[in-house]
Amino acid sequence: MLRRSLLKGAAALPLTFGLAAPLAAMAAPPRRRVRPGDPGWPDAGQWAALGAAVGGRLVKVASPLAECAEAPDSPACAELFKNLRNPFFINESPALTQTLGWVDAWTSHASEYAVAAETSADVAAAVTFARKHRLRLVVKGGGHSYLGGSNAPDSLLIWTKPMRAIQLHDSFTPQGCAGRVAATPAASIGAGAIWLEAYDAVTTKAGRYVQGGGCTTVGVAGLVQGGGFGSYSKGFGTGAANLLEAEVVTADGVVRIANACTNPDLFWALKGGGGGTFGVVTRLTLRTHDLPATFGGVNAKITATSDAAYRALVEQVLTFYRTSLFNPHWGEQIGFRNKRQVTIDMVLQGLDHAEAEKTWAPLFDWLAARPADYSFSKPSIQTLPARLFWNPAILKTVPGVVKGDDRPGAPASHFIWSGDAGQVGQVLHGYQSTWLSQRLLDPDRLPALVDALVHAAATWGVSLHCNKGLAGAPPEALARTRETATNPAVLDAFCLAISGAGEGPAYPGVAGHEPNVERGRIEAKLMRAAMAPLMALPSRPASYISETDYFEPDWQAAFWGEHYARLQAVKRRYDPEGLFFVHHSVGSEGWSPDGFAKLG
């Protein structure tokens, strides 16, 4: 999520809702989900009936990667791998996902069929069909899941992309909450919308702010259900903390409203309990905020001339963060790299240019006083009116800030931040993250954090995502986040430490484009070694479900901490037979993509 690049270059209407007591008992399912060729796989007539029920929006899915495997040297295959670097191309295909796989973990696979859902009735029909025929069911919005949660082979896909309507409210009261919950400005957003569309409607056009993701092509619904961090989470809380209401289709095929007054247990679980787990969200209503006067950022790179100077630099940067940046104005990343480098790619909100320069002056004065120890260029500090931050007409005039959609006829509004381009179509080699407590910045504990970061930098590299820890946020943002299902460790964390490794678009079986598995395993080993001292700093595992390790051994505690038992209870109530399943999801112990056990 690298909005930092911005400033380098600049120098559907709901159905009748089922609001009865959740989920009548359903018959216990067989141990195995039905797959093509198995007895019980729907016949042509049954698929046709589903197609009619969803208004002809049932699609037989064909993966372009499978066709490419048959002719890897063809011009069509070359064009495909070019397009696999374009997130808008990927987003427009039910067969593709933004991450193509993870070495030794998973590979992106197309579903057998997809329902291109336009209404909650379409979703309900698909859910009912999958339950009746015992099918593997998968949900995809933006398709950004690192853990492969938005795809599965031999499955029925509910593809929410067509559900992209956005409605702004000057004053919104959740259903059933009149007199109990104060009305607030809000935006209702369809589950298929991406954050670029949300920011265009809410900020560029309406002059307000909605807390969402940093990458412009991330899906709104998936991000919120995973917790939902963006560049300015330190100021406004998480996306989940700003959820006011959701429309969701549960495992019985009923369309429900979930908010603080109606189905409140389900509402709480949707706020960080993980997408694809409790039902299919079809619409979300999110609180909107007054827009800050400015957004902006600071970019710099500092290189130390010796190991001793580098250790001193790491300590100075952390001390400077504690004294000057540990507040709601600042977010994004400080990187610790090999070759004794520190990279600064921070964003700001609510400060003018002079205030930003004054903030950073102490660090760069300290560096300038030590010319024998450090080399650096003058930091790039830029601010702009916040309403222009996602305006493509402005951004595309600044070299190096954004990348547009280069396909002929593509909308001019399409863009991603240039710094995010490397994530598109990636195959991950490894990925780890851990929340770091604010107490590690105390003088008596700082040396251990410095040692861990110096080790990580020398071994592989690590970034501290300061917007993904809420320590230092305003009291109201902390209070709202406390009412979500996200691991409570986030409230005490000043950052999320992240390290990853990967390669550009690649796919098994496509000659000349296959993943480098040997290199992937080597890089994963190096990354794990780099992160080991940092991972040991928290007393308990604590990681962000949307940006984490596929192989996390203690995932229940890491993703949800003390909330896990409560989430299990919600799962048992709304999905007692486990229709909804993704890797390391609530209640998935002992499950596999080939079969499932009844929750107990």
Average pLDDT, the chain: 93
Alpha-carbon distances, residue 117 vs 124, 163, 164 (angstroms): 10, 7, 11
CB atoms within 10 A of CB 578: 20
The CATH number, out of the four listed (3.30.465.10, 3.40.50.10320, 3.90.1150.10, 3.90.650.10), of the domain defined by the range 166-290: 3.30.465.10
Question: pLDDT tens, 551-600?
Answer: 999 999 999 999 999 999 999 999 999 999 999 999 998 666 555 444 43
Percent of the chain with pLDDT over 70: 93
**Is residue 535's pLDDT more than 50?**
yes
DSSP-based three-state secondary structure for 402: strand
> Alpha carbon 284 to chain centroid distance?
16
> Alpha carbon 506 to chain centroid distance?
21
Adjacent-strand bridge partners of 402:
417
Strands (E), 350-457: 374-376, 380-385, 402-404, 415-417, 426-437
Residues of the chain with CATH 3.30.43.10: 50-162+559-574
Query: What does the DSSP 8-state code read for residue 178?
Result: T
Q: Which two tokens stand for residue 402?
A: 């954004």
Amino acid identity, position 71: A
**Is residue 18's pLDDT more than 90?**
no
CB atoms within 10 A of CB 322: 17
Closest CA to 216 of 477, 400, 391, 10: 391
DSSP-assigned letters across all residues of 479-509: HHHHTSSS-THHHHEEEEEEEEEEESS--TT
Over its C-alpha atoms, the chain yields an Rg (Å, rounded) of 24
DSSP-assigned letters across all residues of 376-395: EPPPEEEEEEGGGTT-HHHH
Position 398 confidence tier, pLDDT thresholds 50, 70, 90: confident
Closest CA to 122 of 23, 190, 20: 190
Alpha-carbon distances, residue 83 vs 109, 229, 519 (angstroms): 17, 27, 24
DSSP-based three-state secondary structure for 258: strand
Distance, first Cα to last Cα, the chain: 39
**Is residue 211's pLDDT more than 90?**
yes
CB-CB contact of 281 with 263 (8 Å): no
Residues constituting the chain: 600
Q: How far apart are CA 345 and CA 336, in angstroms?
A: 11
Pairing of strands 106-107, 415-417: unpaired
Mean pLDDT for 521-539 is: 97
pLDDT at 591: 67
Mean pLDDT for 326-341 is: 97
Question: pLDDT tens, 450-483?
Answer: 999 999 999 999 999 999 999 999 999 999 999 9
Mean pLDDT for 104-131 is: 98
Q: How far apart are CA 115 and CA 57, in angstroms?
A: 6
DSSP-based three-state secondary structure for 420: helix
b/e per residue 179-199 (b: at least 16 CB within 10 A): eebeebbbbbbbbbbbbbbbb
Position 24 confidence tier, pLDDT thresholds 50, 70, 90: very low
**Is residue 295's pLDDT more than 70?**
yes
Q: Which two tokens stand for residue 382?
A: 């830029």
pLDDT at 3: 37
Alpha-carbon distances, residue 534 vs 256, 476, 497, 560 (angstroms): 42, 30, 8, 19
CA dihedral 276, 280, 283, 284 (to 10 degrees): -40
CB-CB contact of 260 with 181 (8 Å): yes
pLDDT at 231: 95
pLDDT at 31: 54
CATH class of 294-388+412-556: alpha beta
pLDDT at 21: 45
Q: Which two tokens stand for residue 533?
A: 């001292």
DSSP-based three-state secondary structure for 522: helix
Q: How far apart are CA 547 and CA 147, in angstroms?
A: 9
Mean pLDDT for 406-425 is: 94
Closest CA to 534 of 430, 429, 432, 428: 432
Amino acid identity, position 126: A
Question: pLDDT tens, 366-386?
Answer: 999 999 999 999 999 999 999
b/e per residue 511-537 (b: at least 16 CB within 10 A): eebebeeeebeebbebbbebbebbbeb
Mean pLDDT for 84-97 is: 97
Burial of 2 (0-12, 13-18, 19+ CB in 10 A): buried
> Alpha carbon 474 to chain centroid distance?
23
Strands (E), 320-425: 330-337, 341-349, 374-376, 380-385, 402-404, 415-417
**Is residue 333's pLDDT more than 50?**
yes
Residues of the chain with CATH 3.40.462.20: 294-388+412-556
Q: How far apart are CA 516 and CA 508, in angstroms?
A: 10
Residues of the chain with CATH 3.30.465.10: 166-290
Amino acid identity, position 393: A
CATH topology of domain 50-162+559-574: 3.30.43
**Is residue 20's pLDDT more than 80?**
no
Question: pLDDT tens, 37-57?
Answer: 999 999 999 999 999 999 999
Amino acid identity, position 527: M
CB-CB contact of 346 with 325 (8 Å): yes
Alpha-carbon distances, residue 91 vs 83, 95, 146, 192, 377 (angstroms): 11, 9, 15, 10, 38
Mean pLDDT for 148-156 is: 95
Q: How far apart are CA 543 and CA 359, in angstroms?
A: 30
Alpha-carbon distances, residue 246 vs 187, 191, 224, 524 (angstroms): 12, 10, 10, 38
